[in-house]
Amino acid sequence: MSTSEVAESDEYQGAKPSRPLEIAFALVALAVTAGYLALSTQIALRREAAPGQIDARFWPMLLGVTGVVVAIAILVIAITRPAPGREDIERIQPGGVLRVVVTLVISGAFIALWSLGSVILFGYRIEVFPIATALLMAALMLVYGHRRWLSLIIYTVSVTAFVYVVFGMLLRIPL
């Protein structure tokens, strides 16, 4: 049996190799990591670190530089080598593109809410980050198929509390 006969008889067929897709992915990765690196240099510091010490900009900048280097390597590989086989990757499923668009919209709304910092409501100052993070987690879990309400609430609250305690309280990074 030839490979084409096996492919025709087999119900599962993976995605086809695509060089333009590989190059587009590499360019998007490069743009995102370069933007991340540029934003990491703008992190406001409460106090400048002494020479030889690490400040709040160090790890984000290190991740940004690493991301740019990896994205450039992926771009070079995508341009110079033939597109890799993608038989192990499923074809786009119905609703998949819509989920990606909804995820981007939810993420944009999260960033917009987070940029508020805090709001004053009925004379009380309320931090927006924990509320926005909980809403982000719950919305993404619902978009990707989670339907059990108890676990949705427990997971959302516990992850939000963990992030807020570790970064906001212990590391004192302004959220």
What is the model's pLDDT at position 8? Answer: 53
pLDDT, tens digit, 9 for 90 and up, residues 144-173: 888 888 888 998 999 999 988 888 888 877
pLDDT, tens digit, 9 for 90 and up, residues 112-127: 988 888 888 888 888 8
pLDDT at 2 over 70: no
At 92, list the tokens: 């786009």
- Region 90-102: what's the mean pLDDT? 80
Which residues have CB under 8 Å from 87's CB, separation 6+? 14, 15
pLDDT, tens digit, 9 for 90 and up, residues 11-58: 656 667 678 888 999 999 999 999 999 999 888 777 777 777 777 788
Q: On the CB side of 44, how many CA atoms lie within 13 Å of its CA?
A: 4
